Amino acid sequence: MTVSSASDTGGAPATRGVSAAPDSCAGCALDRRGFVQRLAVAALAAGAGRDDEASLAGLPVRLIAAVARNGASATYPLPSSDSVNIDRSNDAIVARAGGRVFVFARTCPHQNTALKWDDGDRRFRCPKHGSTYAPDGVFIEGRATRSMDRFAVHRDGNTVVANLDLLYQQDTDAAQWASAFITV
């Protein structure tokens, strides 16, 4: 925040004008009404005792933990059907969609807000600015400038192993990002 005075304005009458510092979210579609609506929904969800990964509709999002952790590697069971599984302790999402299993970073690439799964629309959504992503992490719309970040993965029997030190971004690691999944 900046405050101007007579000495700042070359001798103009002394006024105390206040201007906001540049906002990294300038032009964000979320207005005051949208903010209040989202705040009310969040308060209702908290009051209902729901987990922060589920919406008010009680969507079938599972919280999981890695079955093994060895250094940077986290091992998860292969999902038996299309699903979204969230591992909070490793900030990872294990998702199965269209015969492929992905392990994503749990945060939106725009400003690192925890992503939510919207089962009704079958997409990931950022609750902060509304960016949306397809089940394979591909960016659909919103403030983000790239798709969801993917961890390097490989299959080991009936498990998927994610290297949590190898995170691929669509815009800078295009080839690795495009191949960061296993087929089931």
Please list the residues that pair with 76 across neighbouring strands: 160
Six-digit token string for 79? 């999902």
Amino acid at 56: L
Closest to 146 (Cα-Cα) out of 172, 167, 176, 122? 172
pLDDT at 119: 85
What's the whole-number mean pLDDT along residues 43-47?
43
Nearby residues of 87 by Cβ (< 8 Å), 6 or more positions away: 63, 64, 65, 66, 74, 76, 93, 94, 106
Q: How far apart are CA 168 and CA 35, in angstroms?
A: 32
Model-level pTM? 0.69
pLDDT at 1: 39
pLDDT at 56: 31
Q: Are 122 and 148 in contact (CB under 8 A)?
A: no
Q: Tokens 């089962």 identify what position?
A: 119
Output 122 or 39, whichever has higher pLDDT.
Answer: 122
pLDDT at 31: 53
Q: How far apart are CA 144 and CA 97, in angstroms?
A: 22
pLDDT at 14: 39
Query: Which range, of 17-21, 67-71, 112-116, 146-150, averages the lowest pLDDT?
Result: 17-21
Q: How confident is the model at residue 108 (pLDDT cuts 50, 70, 90)?
A: very high
What's the whole-number mean pLDDT along residues 156-177?
97
Residue-averaged pLDDT of the chain? 78
pLDDT at 61: 78
pLDDT at 110: 92
Q: Tokens 């005792």 identify what position?
A: 49
pLDDT at 114: 96
Does the structure show a pLDDT above 90 at 38?
A: no
Q: How far apart are CA 95 and CA 83, in angstroms?
A: 6
What's the whole-number mean pLDDT along residues 130-139?
96
Condensed to tens digits (0 to 9), the pLDDT of residues 52-94 reads: 443 333 335 799 999 999 999 999 999 998 999 999 999 999 9
3-state secondary structure (DSSP) of residue 47: helix
